[in-house]
Amino acid sequence: MTKGDLLFERGASFLEELSHRAAAEGGFAAKLAEPLAEDAVFLRKLKPTLVMARLRGEAPTNGHVEAAPAEPPPAPAPKPKNEEKEKKEKKEKKPGSGPNAIVVAAAAFAVGVFIAKVVDWRGHAHPRF
């Protein structure tokens, strides 16, 4: 199995596990369990080696794909024994905790307008005929 196949299988396994958890949870999440399970099956059909085999005519195109054996979930990371380590981990930035996207876009717009004004102003100094 190639690295691409393993990546697709891992994603499909994750979706399948997520659908099982959603079904067990009940409520609104249970409504999402069936589409997640269907997505896992579809993702398995998109493995690069299967796609290439279908293109060459070597694999069946009837839509049945075998699932690879499920890997056991990774063991949870051990808890830090030192309180200082816990404080350091809490202080680290969480993913997605960067600057606000609207502020970044507004700043980029302002810089772009400023550069356009400077270019336009200098363009009058040396006109082309």
Rounded Cα gap, residues 25 and 109, in angstroms = 45
Q: pTM of the full predicted structure?
A: 0.45
Q: Is the pLDDT of residue 74 over 90?
A: no
DSSP 36-85: HHHHHHHHHHT-HHHHHHHHHT-S--SS--PPPPPPPPPPPPPPPSSHHH
Is the pLDDT at 19 greater than 80, yes or no?
A: yes
- Averaged over 64-87, what is the pLDDT? 55
Domain-wise residue ranges, the chain: 3-71
Distance, first Cα to last Cα, the chain: 65
